[in-house]
Every structure is written in structure tokens, then in C-alpha cells.
Amino acid sequence: PISVSSPEVAEAAKLLENAFRLINIALVNEFTQICSANGINVNEVIDAASSKPYGFMPFRPGVGVGGHCIPVDPMYLAWWAQQKGEKAKFVESADSINRAMPKYVAQRALSMVDASIEKPRVLILGVAYKPGGGDIRETPASDLRHHLEKLGADVAWHDPLVPIWEG
């Protein structure tokens, strides 16, 4: 632990750290879509970029962000900025990108299904917001499921660490 001059500094540090993660996840999620549109394997690109010793921090693409810290806390930063007449443009943009990922993933997944299949069956493996735990707070899997169903898929799920999800 480190000491800071006030609780406000400690809370601002937490907001900065979580906003940093939100923004970098959004960057890689947006970059994933660009790579996909160009037929490039984004994980290969991330691995190559990770080989550089210049402080690159790898983030991996996903369905979105979940939990309390990353999708929620940075929005306090945006609110805090508004209270003083400022804007948190990066945070708001990153939030928008990450919230759009479940729809993008659903569309992309179903685009890989044979068009002759009228009601594709999709299995979501893992509904917790991060590996190794059963926490489903703010999980992007909920929106993924919604978008898959809206696009006509029959959706099932499996997560050995989550015994009950959405009833």
C-alpha cells in the first residue's frame, strides 16, 4: 500500500486505473474489428506488438467488459468531469465501443453459420465476466445472448462456475 494526501486522491487513482483499462480494452476491441475486416488475425498482431520492449501492455479482445470496476467506475469519472463543466471524451467513447461489442460478436458469430440453417443453435461457454470465477455482475454475456436471440439463434450456455444465470 502507498500513502496519498487524501481519500479524494485515492479514489481518483482508482478511477484513473479503471479508466485506463476501459480505454485499452476498447482500443483492442475496435482494433479487432478493423483487423477482422482486413482478414488479419488480431491475436497474432497483439503477440507481435508484445515483443517490443517499449512498454506495450497487451489487452485481448472480448465480448465487452463486466464486473463493477471497469464498466461502472469510469462512468463516475465522466460524471465527476461533468460536475466541473468538463468532459471525459475518451472514457465515454470507450464505454460506447465496449457496449457495442456483444452485438458485433453476435453478428460475426452468426455470419459464420451456414445460411441454410434457419435457427442456428449457439452455446455460450462461460458467462462470468472473467475467467476463473463465477461473478456475473455486468457480464457482457447477457447482451451477447440477447443479440444472438434477436438475430434468430437458439442460445444455450455453460459455465461450471455459475450454477444459475438469469433464472
The set of catalytic residues is: 69
Query: What are the grid coordinates assigned to 88, written together?
Result: 471525459
C-beta of residue 129 within 8 angstroms of C-beta of residue 138: yes
Provide the terminal-to-terminal Cα distance of the chain, rounded to the nearest Å: 40
- Contact 129/140 with Cβ under 8 angstroms? yes
Spatial CB neighbours of 37, under 8 Å, sequence gap ≥ 6: none
Residue 158 DSSP label: E
Q: Which of 114, 101, 95, 97 is nearest to 19 (CA)?
A: 95
